[in-house]
A and B are shown apart, each in its own frame.
Chain A
Amino acid sequence: MNRLIHYLCLLCFLSFSQALYFHIGETERKCFIEEIPDETMVIGNYKTQLFDKNVNDYLPSSPGVGMHVEVKDPDGKLLLSKVYSSEGRFTFTSHTPGEHVICLYSNSTKWSMFAGGKLRVHLDIQVGEHANDYQTIAEKDKLTELQLRVRQLLDQVEQITKEQNYQRYREERFRQTSESTNQRVLWWSIAQTLILTLTGFWQMRHLKGFFEAKKLV
């Protein structure tokens, strides 16, 4: 039990390595394009930090700054358009497979006055699976360290399997498009040859009629 607590403490250190972050300007709009299969739930966690000129560093939290999250599906239809507080989580489920556009921009204009113009946004977008919080899992299921490690490995292998399934779906889509291109090349070549011959015939006939009318033939 002692060891478990110790390991969880180590996990605490691990957890300080948090999500990817980037900076956006006041009116700047950052868009991420994600390729998502259909009927998949997507969870996005984000957190914003304001730059404080007095401390010359980023404040741990920035109340009052809202983030506008906009999600468009491959056909351009709006799936989600909501304003969230300075940190939070947004979820949406995709209904068509393809490229979804997730856009983030700040909705307030006041913070640039004292923020030096930059907002730090931490973002973590997960497609299709839940964020596994191993600390709570370990506490809930009362796992030993070894069991927790094995559980982590099992989850990773499950991820690999999901990725392989998605790869298979991608390959099928790829093959369909290739076959469609093949068909198109064939049929358009036939059509072009046909059009060429027909216009040739029409041309000859028209000119023959014309010359006969002109009494040249």
Chain B
Amino acid sequence: MGSVVQTYIFLVATVVSALAQPDTQPAQGDPLMKTGSRPYVSYDFTIQIRARAEECFHQYTSVGSIINVEYEVLSASSRGRSYDIDFILRGPTGQMMKRISGEEDGSYKVTITREGVYTMCFDNGASKFTAKNVYIEITIIQRGEWRKYIEMQRGEVEAEEDAEEEVETALDTVADSMVDKIETIADLIDDMIFKQVSTRRIAIKDWYLVIQNNSYVQQWSIIQCIVIVAASVFQTFFVRRLFNIKTVTPTQKPRA
């Protein structure tokens, strides 16, 4: 009787704790829930961070996922200023997991061991007046649940074998190794995605540089042409002025 009550209390407690979880979890049919069923989610965008401001992004992640953050400063509101920005990654309890200070670009990859809300912050506190455009790319590979499923499936297969003591059929072996092979392929695809993410970041940075170069060259050439013409005109008229002799002397008498 006591154990039944205990089990009942335990079940109720589990249900209540599940319901009382932080309401960052969307309801069924929520459009945002769709992102969860994808094996990887990727966000990339450019955001402007004002001077002395900080922009933070939060994401709920499950165990076994890989968070990969890549960022770089594309432009600053005033030319010639430093392009540094700070990056801070905080865990579910607010503890600081990683801090990259004063870098123009950076990347950080971490495998999650605790599920919860992870916060990625970009801090422009170091500059007093310069706003910065930062390109941010956040990729989250979440296969934690699939891995659990594989373990569960392997456990089931083994349990069946033990129970029936049958020799493994050829089909079972094929199914087993298929799952392994699929996981290998998935790992390789993840690597491909991460490499593409890096390449994209470098490509965007180069693109900004090239665009700036292009307009810079044109502007400066026009200014230089104007300077050349102005300088020679100024030169000519200055030399002419040197030879300007007044036709009357200081005492107002005509000069020879």
Tell me which residues from 207 to 246 in chain B have a Cβ below 8 Å from any Cβ of chain A: 207, 210-211, 213-214, 217-218, 221, 224-225, 228-229, 232-233, 235-236, 239-240, 243
B102 at interface by CB-CB < 8 Å: no
B7 at interface by CB-CB < 8 Å: no
Give B151 Cβ to nearest chain A Cβ, in Å: 11
A203 at interface by CB-CB < 8 Å: yes
Give A12 Cβ to nearest chain B Cβ, in Å: 8
Interface string of A50-70 (1 = CB under 8 A from B): 000000011110000000000
CA distance A10 to B148 in the complex (A): 9
Interface size on B, residues (CB 8 A): 78
A82 surroundings in chain B (CB, below 8 A) = none
Give B225 Cβ to nearest chain A Cβ, in Å: 5
Interface size on A, residues (CB 8 A): 80
Give B176 Cβ to nearest chain A Cβ, in Å: 11
Interface string of B9-32 (1 = CB under 8 A from A): 000000000000011111100111
A142 at interface by CB-CB < 8 Å: no
B60 surroundings in chain A (CB, below 8 A) = 16-18
A167 and B46 in contact (CB under 8 A), knowing A152-B38, A188-B218, A191-B225? no
Q: Which residue of B has the minimal Cβ distance to A145? A: B149
Main SS at interface, chain B? helix
Q: Which of B93-101, B164-172, B198-206 contacts A (4 or more CB under 8 A)?
A: B198-206
A174 at interface by CB-CB < 8 Å: yes
**Count of A-B contacts judged by CB separation below 8 Å:** 214
Interface string of B179-204 (1 = CB under 8 A from A): 10010011001001100100110011
B104 at interface by CB-CB < 8 Å: no
A200 at interface by CB-CB < 8 Å: yes
B160 surroundings in chain A (CB, below 8 A) = none
B55 at interface by CB-CB < 8 Å: yes
A160 at interface by CB-CB < 8 Å: yes
Q: Knowing that A20-B57, A125-B45 are A-B contacts, what are 17 other residue pairs whose CB atoms are under 8 Å apart, sorted by A's residue number? A: A11-B37, A13-B145, A14-B142, A14-B145, A16-B36, A17-B65, A32-B46, A33-B47, A46-B32, A124-B31, A133-B34, A160-B193, A191-B225, A192-B221, A195-B228, A210-B240, A216-B243
